Chains A and B, each alone.
Chain A
Amino acid sequence: MDTVRIIEVKQSVFASNDKRANELRQELKEKKIFLLNVMSSPGSGKTTTLTGIINELKNEFRIGVMEADIDSDVDARTVSKNTGVEAIQLHTGGMCHLDADMTRQGIEALKDNDKYDLIILENVGNLVCPAEFDTGAVKNMCILSVPEGDDKPLKYPLMFEVSNFVLINKIDVIDYFDFDLEKCKENIRYRNPKADIFEICAKNGKGIKEVADYIRQQIYDWRR
């Protein structure tokens, strides 16, 4: 007769992912690779923004890009075509986010992955799930675009709590929307008083240089 027994586990489900993320971060530190995790809603302008940032930084740093989506390779092709840097597409197989293991697999899939100074992960467009899973990134960047509304930080608390810096994109169309810029910044700081905030327009390039300068400084700080 089999004996039924109880095993006490008392373990957070996110703990194993957090542990793997910390291990990955440590390895990246030793290799002097800066991993940037980019999160936002679908359609906020992640790919266009990244293209601008990469073009500012690509002469100085060796950059690789991982585009995570449920399907298609349209983003990887767009980034690769518009910047010339290596971009690969990760398919999440229906999953709404990337975890640390998937991120590691992505990094391993980049050609000569040890040679990079900066690896950018464009996470799945979603303000909920990506915030819950630490990818192993050094910094989290969030993009919020004007048409989405200034109240997004109130509706998606965790995303703004885990983001180290927030870009407010599509600032050029602000007059056409009921978007209160100061209110938006207040809402972001309500969730995360330490978040750095930038106003940008990825389409015409406004603010992109400032963001690139900021990321450059973050990379220097990480290598130190």
Chain B
Amino acid sequence: MHELGVVFHVIDEIEDLAQKNNVEHVNKVTLQIGTVSGIIPDYLVDCWNWAVTKHDIMAKCELIIEKIEAVTHCEACGRDYNTIVYGKTCPHCGSTDTYLLQGNEFMIKEMEVV
């Protein structure tokens, strides 16, 4: 829903890092996105392709997205399960005393530069 806003955040970070590392041009950026992060990859790519045209150092910069599966841990029975399928309620024991282990990430993993 706020893909354009987060793209601006990513670009700010990348530009900052590019400056610190004496980078001439950023060719490629890899993001890691959790499946319950609320970010829709297709929209993100569309916003990205538009936004990078506004930044010379990132012109035509390619965006690679790596998905991170969502996993929830149950405090009651100690087991882990797929968050997308079962949500907050543990499918093993029915407890709701659960928390997300991974899946809400939105990380810049690496950038390929010259």
- CB of B2 within 8 A of CB of A132, answer yes
Interface bits B98-113 vs A (CB < 8 Å: 1, else 0): 0000000111111111
- A residues neighboring B (CB under 8 Å): 2-14, 16-17, 94-97, 99, 126, 128-129, 132, 157-158, 190
- Give which listed residue, A7, A12, A17, contacts B110 with CB less than 8 A: A7
- Known contacts A190-B88, A190-B96; is A9 also within 8 Å of B110 by CB? yes
Interface bits B14-35 vs A (CB < 8 Å: 1, else 0): 0001000101110100010000
Q: Which residue on chain A has the smallest CB distance to residue B8?
A: A95
Question: How many residues of chain B are within 8 Å of chain A by beta carbon?
Answer: 29
- CB of A10 within 8 A of CB of B1, answer no
Q: How far is the CB of B1 from chain A (nearest CB, A)?
A: 5
CA distance A129 to B43 in the complex (A): 15
Per DSSP, are chain B's interface residues mostly helix, strand or loop, or mixed?
A: mixed
B52 at interface, CB cutoff 8 A: no
B10 at interface, CB cutoff 8 A: yes
CA distance A97 to B106 in the complex (A): 17
Residues in B with CB closer than 8 Å to A14 are 9, 106
Residues in A with CB closer than 8 Å to B23 are 7
Residues in B with CB closer than 8 Å to A6 are 110-113
- CB of B106 within 8 A of CB of A4, answer no
B38 at interface, CB cutoff 8 A: yes
Q: How far is the CB of A212 from chain B (nearest CB, A)?
A: 32
B114 at interface, CB cutoff 8 A: yes
B13 at interface, CB cutoff 8 A: yes
Q: Which residue on chain B has the smallest CB distance to residue A14?
A: B106
CA distance A189 to B108 in the complex (A): 33
Q: Which residue on chain A has the smallest CB distance to residue B114?
A: A2
Residues in B with CB closer than 8 Å to A97 are 2, 5
Residues in A with CB closer than 8 Å to B109 are 8-10
Residues in A with CB closer than 8 Å to B111 are 6-7, 9
Task: Show 12 A/B contacts (Cβ-Cβ < 8 Å), sorted by A.
Answer: A6-B113, A7-B112, A9-B109, A9-B110, A10-B107, A11-B107, A12-B105, A12-B108, A13-B31, A14-B9, A16-B13, A128-B38
Q: A95-B4, A129-B1 are in contact. List 13 more A-B contacts (CB 8 A).
A: A5-B113, A6-B111, A7-B17, A7-B21, A9-B111, A10-B110, A12-B106, A13-B31, A16-B9, A16-B13, A96-B5, A132-B38, A158-B38
B6 at interface, CB cutoff 8 A: yes
Residues in A with CB closer than 8 Å to B17 are 7, 9
- Give which listed residue, A13, A128, A190, contacts B107 with CB less than 8 A: A13
Q: How far is the CB of A131 from chain B (nearest CB, A)?
A: 9
CA distance A99 to B10 in the complex (A): 13
CA distance A157 to B37 in the complex (A): 12
Which of A11, A129, A132 lies at the interface centre, i.e. has the most chain B CB atoms within 10 A of its CB?
A132
- Give which listed residue, A4, A13, A158, contacts B13 with CB less than 8 A: A13
Q: How far is the CB of B44 from chain A (nearest CB, A)?
A: 11
Going nearest first, the 10 A-B pairs with the smallest beta carbon separation are A2-B114, A129-B2, A9-B108, A13-B106, A96-B2, A95-B5, A8-B110, A7-B111, A128-B1, A11-B108
